Amino acid sequence: MFGKKAQPPIKSLIAQGTHIDGNMKFNEGLRVDGEVFGDIHATSEDGSLLVISEAAVVQGGIVADHVIINGTVRGPVHARELLELQPRAKIDGDVSYVALEMHQGATICGSLKPLMAGEASTEDEKPLLKLATKNA
C-alpha cells in the first residue's frame, strides 16, 4: 500500500534559525528545521512529504500525504497517507491519518482520528497501526 510509491524528493528547506510567520504551501517535499507560525499545506497531487525535524517548531495546522515528525507541532495534523512520529515528536492538537507509526517517546495531546484509504476502503476496514520497537 505505502511501499509501492517512491518518496517525493525534498526540494525545500526551512533551516534552523529561520522564523516564518504566515501560512505556507509546498509541492513534493519540505523539511522544516526552523520555526513556522502558520499552516503548512501540501498542494502536490503526486504525493507529498513533510519532515518536521527535532529542532523544529510548527504552530499551525499541517496537511500532507506522508508526514514525519520529530519536533514540536501545536495544531492539527492531517496525514493523507502515513504519519510517522519519531521518539521526540510532541503534538498538541488533533491527529488524522490513514496509517500511523509511532515510536516510544512520542506524545500526542489531542484526539486520534483514523481515516480510510481511498475508494477501496469499506466501513468495516480497520486503519493500519504499526507499533515501532527498538528490536525491529
Going residue by residue through the chain, which has 136 residues, state the pLDDT in tens, using 9 for 90 and above.
Answer: 455 567 889 999 999 999 999 999 999 999 999 999 999 999 987 899 999 999 999 999 999 999 999 999 999 999 999 999 999 999 999 999 999 999 999 999 999 999 987 633 334 445 556 666 666 5
- Cα torsion angle, 22, 110, 2, 16, sign: positive
pLDDT digits (tens, 9 = 90+) for 6-23: 788 999 999 999 999 999
- Determine the length of the chain: 136
- Cα distances (Å, whole numbers) of residue 8 to 42, 44, 73, 77: 12, 10, 22, 19
